[in-house]
Amino acid sequence: MIWCIAALIVLVIYLFWRFPQLRKTWYLPKRKGFVALMYHHVGVLENPQDEQFPFTLRPDMLERQILFLKANGYTPISLAELETAYRAGKSSIQKPVMLTFDDGYLDNYQNLFPLLKKYQVPALIFLITDRIGTPGYMNWNQINEMKASGLVSFGSHTLSHRRLRSLSDEEIAREITESKRLLQEKLGAPVTAFCYPYGAGGFDKRVRPQVFKAGYLFDFSTKKGINPWPWKGKSTLRRAFPRGGETLFDYHLQLTRGQSKL
Ligand SMILES: [Zn+2]
């Protein structure tokens, strides 16, 4: 009996090693809730070895993902809709998802914004305030044009994109509060969403309280998973991470398991 079990374990390990498809999360139970999707670049990278390849979604793939959401009854929600549900403690929105984009890359304006307009899908973009208007990043004119469309909200991704856990308390406070103040001044509206650079600090007792002290309502991490709906704000929001090169089956796993592979 014991040999049978041992042989079975060895067989399973071999199969998982031999067939990478099996390492995906299809065998995990499906979960319902609020899926925050984490993206970065939208553009075309040909070389899968490129460091940015997993962080770069082809525009045609993003379009297929938006169509997949629509065809499967998902509701892309805006930051305002998240806030409404949070304040009410209830929501009639079915299968809510949110498209979030980190860092404020120029390709978000060039390649993402046309898709958002075409399909009238809302999105949330986290800006690194020191990099606004620098090469490769959006400038204020582009940011304001996106905001004026009513489709794009903006959150803070700190001033300088450093790992908050490695900073002093004073530096952490400055990264969190100064970026908020600057964005609010330029956008003329409250900034309620915060995203931790590298996800670092989302579960840190020294960092996270400062986010709420600064007046944010929502903090987004890089921890994978699906969130309860309506969101009650008890912990840091988890995000599913659709990578460049993934298929629509992977996307289905992201939406139903919070991750496509372990
Ligand atoms: Zn980032």
Give the tens place of pLDDT for each residue, 169-191: 999 999 999 999 999 999 999 99
pLDDT band of 79, cuts 50, 70, 90? very high
Residue 124 lies in a domain: yes
Reading the block at residue 61, the tokens are 């793939």
Between the CA of 200 and the centroid of ligand 1 the distance, in Å, is 10
Give the gyration radius of the chain's Cα atoms.
19
Kind and range of the H or E run holding 63: helix 59-71
Please indicate, yes or no, if residue 9 is contained in any of the structural domains.
no
Structural domain span for residue 241: 29-257
Q: Tell me, in angstroms, the distance from the centre of ligand 1 to residue 157's CA.
A: 7
User: Could you tell me how many helices (H) and strands (E) the chain has, helices first?
Assistant: 9, 9
Find the helix packing angle between 59-71 and 248-257, rounded to 10°: 50
Q: Is 113 exposed, middle or buried (0-12, 13-18, 19+ CB in 10 A)?
A: buried
- pLDDT digits over 220-235, tens only? 999 999 999 999 988 8
Residue 12 structure tokens: 């399973």
Inside any domain, residue 99: yes
CA of 16 to the centre of ligand 1 (A): 32
Domain presence at residue 4? no
* Cβ neighbours, 10 Å, residue 112: 25
What separation in Å is there between the alpha carbon of 102 and the centre of ligand 1? Answer: 5
Q: How many domains does the chain have?
A: 1
Q: Which residue has the tokens 């899968």?
A: 48
Most confident region among 49-53, 179-183, 196-200 by mean pLDDT:
179-183
Phi, psi of 206, deg, nearest 5: -85, -30
How many A from CA of 206 to the centre of ligand 1?
A: 20
Residue 2 lies in a domain: no
Rounded to 5 degrees, what are φ and ψ at 208?
-60, -45
8 domain-assigned: no
* CA 196 to ligand 1 center in whole angstroms: 7
| For ion ligand 1, residues whose CB falls within 5 Å | 102-103, 197
Ligand 1 centroid, distance to 150 Cα (angstroms): 23
Q: What is the mean pLDDT of residues 146-157?
A: 98
What CATH number should be reported for the domain holding residue 221?
Answer: 3.20.20.370
d(CA 226, CA 238): 6
Q: Distance from the CA of 103 to the center of ligand 1, in angstroms?
A: 5
Extended beta strands in 72-189, E state:
75-76, 96-103, 123-127, 152-156
Q: Taking all residues of the chain, what is their mean pLDDT, rounded to a whole number?
A: 95
Please tell me the distance between residue 4's alpha carbon and the centre of ligand 1 in angstroms. 48
Ligand 1 centroid, distance to 160 Cα (angstroms): 10
What confidence tens digit (pLDDT) does each residue in 98-109 have? 999 999 999 999
| pLDDT for position 144 | 97
Q: What is the per-residue pLDDT for 200?
A: 85
Q: Measured in angstroms, how far is the CA atom of residue 8 from the centroid of ligand 1?
A: 42
The pLDDT of 64-78, averaged and rounded, is: 98
Question: What pTM did the predictor assign?
Answer: 0.92
C-alpha of residue 2 to centroid of ligand 1, in Å: 49
Please answer whether residues 38 and 241 qualify as being in contact, where contact means their C-beta atoms are separated by less than 8 angstroms: yes
Residue 103: its pLDDT value, please?
98
End-to-end Cα, the chain, rounded Å: 30
